[in-house]
Structure 1
Amino acid sequence: MHTEQRQSPRKVFKTRAMLAAAGAAPVLGRTSDISASGVSLTMPQPVPVGQMVQVRFDMLVEGAVVPVNTRGKTLYCILSSGEFKVGLQFLSLELGVMTAIARFMR
């Protein structure tokens, strides 16, 4: 039986995202959900668990576009329907981004 490991509530959030690891070219993917502590992505190729990455995407919050460009750590990478579901924990969110995510989550 699967045990839920998420530490905070998630909300569906679908937009384009770019993921970059040190020494590798950036890869385009899509977000699927977000929380105060992380984001779930769908990627065309696997990302090693424990990998430190840079993730970029835009959020529309209360009518304003909020660019997110932050570091994260991959917690899981699962092959699903020919794509890879990647769980990313945020490592260093700016205050403005934290506030935007909190508003989005309401």
Structure 2
Amino acid sequence: MDGMPPKQGRTLDISASGLSLNFDHKLGTGDVGTVSFELFVEGKAQVLTCRSRVNYCIFSGDHFKIGFQFMNPDMATMATINKFLR
């Protein structure tokens, strides 16, 4: 998120409009930052980066489930995500 050092999470789910992560740290709803994630498409790893907004942050046991909504992703990012989702 903006103003924070990079953090790592584990992807739970992805859609054309966003993704959900397991995360060790709490984030506030409405926080905005850059999210980078890796997808395997056609046998190749592709790292995607997109500005995103936190839609929800739910404490679940020893971690947080955080939902991010993509903000104006570029066409190449959307094409890769759509290819992955097929």
Provide TM-score, normalisation by structure 2.
0.93
Question: Within 1, Cα distance between the matches of 2:4 and 2:42?
Answer: 35
The correspondence for 1:88, drawn from 58, 68, 80, is 68
Q: Determine the structure 2 residue equivalent to 1:43.
A: 23
1:52-71 equivalences in 2 (<5 Å):
52-71=32-51
Give the percent of matched residue pairs that are identical in Structure 1 and Structure 2. Answer: 38
Structure 1 stretches of 4+ with a deviation exceeding 2 A read none
SS at match of 2:8: strand
Amino acid at match of 2:12: S
Amino acid at match of 1:66: Q
1:5-16 equivalences in 2 (<5 Å):
none
- The alignment of Structure 1 onto Structure 2 pairs a total of residues equal to 86
CA offset digits 1:54-75 (Å, max 9, x no partner): 1011111111222111100000
**Structure 1 runs not aligned, ≥5 long:** 1-20
Provide TM-score, normalisation by structure 1.
0.77
Cα RMSD after superposing both structures: 0.9
